[in-house]
């Protein structure tokens, strides 16, 4: 038996672990959650109306995707004003009401902090366009002269995550072609220059603005990307075809100064604020650098998200995530950037190594989708996920078992990836379709039905409606509620993970506290060995005899209380 024990952080005034260490956080893609005013777009009042459902699910916090003022070129990830709510979603008063109601329900509120880039409509960028080369205004961004005799080529060969060059040329005030500006993502999202003190000072103030309104923390978008290498050198991988990680564009040493600064801001509050990073780096050692005691509290362990449905690969990803973290990791199987879990697990599960530089591509599978198989595996996967030590993030709609929507009309697609690839890449719209609340025709209870939803819902969405699953004890929603309730009852954040050797390549098993979790990714039932001291079966995601774990399923079993000696973390091996 192999012990993997996360370091547990406790408040100096109490012996209890910090709230976030074992939290379950519900990710809200606001424009697709619920519509209160009939315009076909989700909003803050719609979220307030749905908070009781999130509380009933058993979640400890919500994470809101960006709801700041934005032209919506990338649905909020292009921010024009960091201190205001976009009118599409409501007002600051609505936001304050959301925070107050969430706190009454015992739900903490996390916001999305997008600080690698802003919007071309941000006041700073508009001022930079007017100010001219070499100005203070332009030094807040990455403006540079082009290459070539007339500056007609980009300053370097960096590529945008969304496809094409990472540079766009502007027209100067005199009407002539001028400098180029850097955008790691869409051309509507100019990268900020974090080597400029104006940028650091402004974001420090932005943090305090929201913390003073009761926000409990931030999820930091593209946390590894804020600082670029001095001189902006060319990327060899772009020219020789090797691809991979552009070391000059991401994960610069100076990025850690940002998080030490933000951590000091958050720690100054009576109830210290929480930071979790979207950090996509090529190794566990690089990830751990972001999790030092004076930087981020947690970072997402994306390695688990991108793995195929294979016991060995899942076990390796879990071990890597636990080893990389200074504290309990933040786990997730889905988010607003990747195909939905049911779809991914219902496709061919190729065991090729994934590219650690591109989460969106690494998480995708190909081929036809077996929805029944994908649903069965998705249920098993979340049962495994919720038995792990650390925080768990659940993307909205996963609790309903929603599949990816592939057949959106081309005219309805809005993702910049779709647009920049000229339709070669379907992008991320398929996991962002507005949620079905009821079976009612029109918009399935998403809003009043007065307006078409911002992305069209397929006719089959009603089969996944929340109202129908509410009263079905065998639904995916009922399973999620059971899992979250059992997680609270059975696990403490301090419980380490101990692997059990199953002797079967497609079955993994681990113990936490008084619970054994067995995951069977193979085609045949797994018989729990008689020598394992299992008691009653607590839950199973698929029917089977009490001592069997059905194919493509997960089961939890009760275990006798362990004595302190058997969980001694001073030794990595227990037999």
End-to-end C-alpha distance for the chain, whole angstroms: 5
Segment 537-549 shows an average pLDDT of 97
Q: Mean pLDDT score of the chain, rounded to an integer?
A: 91
> Going from the N-terminus, what domains does the chain have, and what CATH number goes with each?
123-182 (3.90.400.10)
Segment 14-24 shows an average pLDDT of 85
Indicate if the pLDDT at residue 178 is higher than 60: yes
Note if 278 is an active site residue: yes
Per DSSP (E only), the strands in 185-293 are 217-220, 274-277
355-365 core/surface letters (b: 16 or more CB in 10 A; e: else): ebbbbbebbbb
| Given 74, 278, 404, 552, the catalytic residue | 278
**pLDDT one-digit tens code per residue, 33-52:** 999 999 999 999 999 999 99
Residue 275: beta bridge partners? 218
Segment 433-461 shows an average pLDDT of 94
Neighbours of 568 (CB within 10 A): 11
Please give the structure tokens belonging to residue 145. 């002269």
Helical residues (DSSP H) of 19-91, grouped into ranges: 44-57
Give the position of tokens 């996963």.
398
The residue among 533 and 253 whose pLDDT is bigger is 253
Cα-Cα-Cα-Cα dihedral of 402, 403, 409, 412, to 10°?
50
The residue among 288 and 483 whose pLDDT is bigger is 483
What is the share, in percent, of the chain residues with pLDDT greater than 90?
79
pLDDT of amino acid 483:
99
Per DSSP (E only), the strands in 46-114 are 61-64, 68-69, 81-85, 108-113
CA distances, 59 to each of 19, 269, 386, 440, 487 (Å): 12, 24, 12, 27, 11
Check residue 573 and report its DSSP letter.
Answer: B
Judge contact between 68 and 79, C-beta under 8 A. yes
Neighbours of 19 (CB within 10 A): 17
Residue 299: beta bridge partners? 277
**pLDDT one-digit tens code per residue, 112-138:** 999 999 999 999 999 999 999 999 999
Poorest-pLDDT segment among 162-166, 332-336, 376-380, 397-401: 162-166
As a whole number of angstroms, the distance between CA 393 and CA 25 comes to 5
CA 404, 408, 413, 418 dihedral sign is positive
pTM (predicted TM-score): 0.93
| Given 112, 137, 191, 221, the catalytic residue | 221
Give the position of tokens 């409501």.
90
pLDDT of amino acid 346:
96
pLDDT of amino acid 572:
27
Length of the chain: 575
Beta strand 2-4 pairing with 24-28: unpaired
As a whole number of angstroms, the distance between CA 298 and CA 292 comes to 9
The alpha carbon of residue 8 and the mean position of all alpha carbons in its chain are separated, in whole angstroms, by: 22
Burial classification of residue 231, based on how many CB atoms lie within 10 Å of its CB (0-12 exposed, 13-18 middle, 19 or more buried) = exposed
pLDDT of amino acid 564:
35
pLDDT of amino acid 244:
60
pLDDT of amino acid 13:
41
**pLDDT one-digit tens code per residue, 387-432:** 999 999 999 999 999 999 998 888 888 777 767 777 777 778 889 9
Indicate if the pLDDT at residue 262 is higher than 70: yes
Burial classification of residue 543, based on how many CB atoms lie within 10 Å of its CB (0-12 exposed, 13-18 middle, 19 or more buried) = exposed
Indicate if the pLDDT at residue 3 is higher than 60: no
Poorest-pLDDT segment among 154-158, 272-276, 316-320, 352-356: 352-356
pLDDT of amino acid 355:
58
Indicate if the pLDDT at residue 575 is higher than 60: no
Note if 316 is an active site residue: no
pLDDT of amino acid 527:
97
pLDDT of amino acid 243:
52
Segment 173-186 shows an average pLDDT of 96
As a whole number of angstroms, the distance between CA 216 and CA 63 comes to 10
SS3 content of the chain, % helix, strand, coil (to 5): 30, 15, 55
Poorest-pLDDT segment among 137-141, 305-309, 310-314, 363-367: 363-367
Check residue 17 and report its DSSP letter.
Answer: B
Give the position of tokens 């941000």.
122
């Amino acid at each position: 038996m192999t012990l993997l024990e996360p370091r547990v952080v406790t408040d100096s005034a109490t012996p209890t672990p910090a709230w976030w260490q074992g939290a379950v956080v519900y990710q809200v893609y606001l424009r697709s959650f619920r519509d209160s005013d009939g315009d076909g777009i989700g909003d803050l009042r719609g979220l307030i109306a749905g908070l009781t459902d999130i509380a009933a699910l058993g979640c400890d916090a919500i994470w809101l995707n960006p709801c700041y003022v934005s032209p919506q070129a990338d649905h909020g990830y292009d921010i024009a004003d960091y201190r205001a709510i976009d009118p599409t979603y409501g007002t600051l008063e609505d936001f304050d009401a959301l925070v107050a109601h969430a706190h009454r329900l015992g739900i903490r509120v996390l916001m999305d902090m997008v600080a690698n880039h802003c919007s071309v409509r941000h006041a700073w960028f508009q001022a930079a366009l007017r100010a001219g080369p070499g100005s203070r205004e332009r030094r807040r961004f990455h403006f540079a002269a082009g290459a070539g005799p007339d500056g007609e080529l980009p300053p370097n060969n960096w590529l945008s995550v969304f496809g094409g060059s990472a540079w766009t040329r502007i027209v100067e005030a005199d009407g002539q072609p001028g400098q180029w500006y850097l955008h790691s993502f869409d051309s509507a999202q100019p990268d900020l220059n974090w080597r400029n003190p104006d940028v650091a000072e402004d974001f420090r103030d932005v943090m305090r603005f929201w913390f003073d309104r009761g926000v409990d923390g931030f999820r930091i978008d593209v946390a590894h990307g804020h600082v670029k290498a001095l001189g902006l050198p060319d990327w060899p991988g772009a020219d020789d075809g090797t691809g991979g990680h552009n070391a000059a564009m991401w994960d610069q040493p100076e990025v850690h100064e940002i998080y030490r600064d933000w951590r000091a801001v958050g720690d100054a509050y009576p109830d210290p604020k929480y930071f979790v990073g979207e950090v996509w780096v090529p190794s566990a050692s690089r990830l751990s650098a972001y999790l030092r005691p004076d930087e981020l509290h947690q970072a997402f362990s994306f390695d688990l998200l991108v793995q195929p449905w294979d016991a060995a690969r899942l076990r390796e990803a879990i071990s890597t995530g636990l080893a990389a973290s200074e504290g309990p990791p933040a786990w997730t199987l889905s988010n607003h950037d990747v195909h939905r879990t049911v779809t991914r697990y219902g496709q061919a599960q190729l065991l090729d190594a994934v590219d650690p530089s591109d989460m969106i591509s690494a998480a995708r599978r190909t081929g036809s989708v077996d929805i029944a198989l994908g649903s069965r595996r998705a249920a098993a996967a979340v049962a495994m996920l919720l038995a792990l030590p650390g925080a768990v993030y659940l993307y909205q709609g996963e609790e309903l078992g929603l599949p990816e929507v592939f057949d959106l009309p081309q005219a309805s697609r809005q993702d910049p990836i779709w647009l920049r690839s000229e339709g070669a890449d379907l992008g991320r719209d398929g996991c962002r379709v507005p949620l079905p609340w009821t079976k009612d025709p029109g918009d399935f209870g998403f809003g009043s039905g007065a307006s078409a939803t911002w992305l069209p819902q397929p006719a089959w969405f009603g089969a996944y409606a929340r109202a129908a699953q509410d009263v079905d004890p065998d639904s995916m929603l009922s399973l999620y509620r059971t899992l979250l309730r059992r997680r609270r009852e059975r696990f403490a954040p301090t419980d380490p993970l101990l692997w059990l050797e199953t002797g079967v390549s497609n079955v993994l098993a681990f113990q936490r506290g008084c619970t054994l979790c067995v995951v069977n990714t193979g085609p045949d039932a797994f018989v729990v060995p008689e020598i394992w001291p299992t008691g009653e079966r607590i839950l199973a995601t698929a029917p089977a005899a009490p001592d069997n774990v059905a194919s493509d399923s997960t089961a939890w079993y009760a275990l006798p209380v362990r004595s302190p000696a058997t969980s001694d973390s001073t030794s990595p091996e227990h037999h």
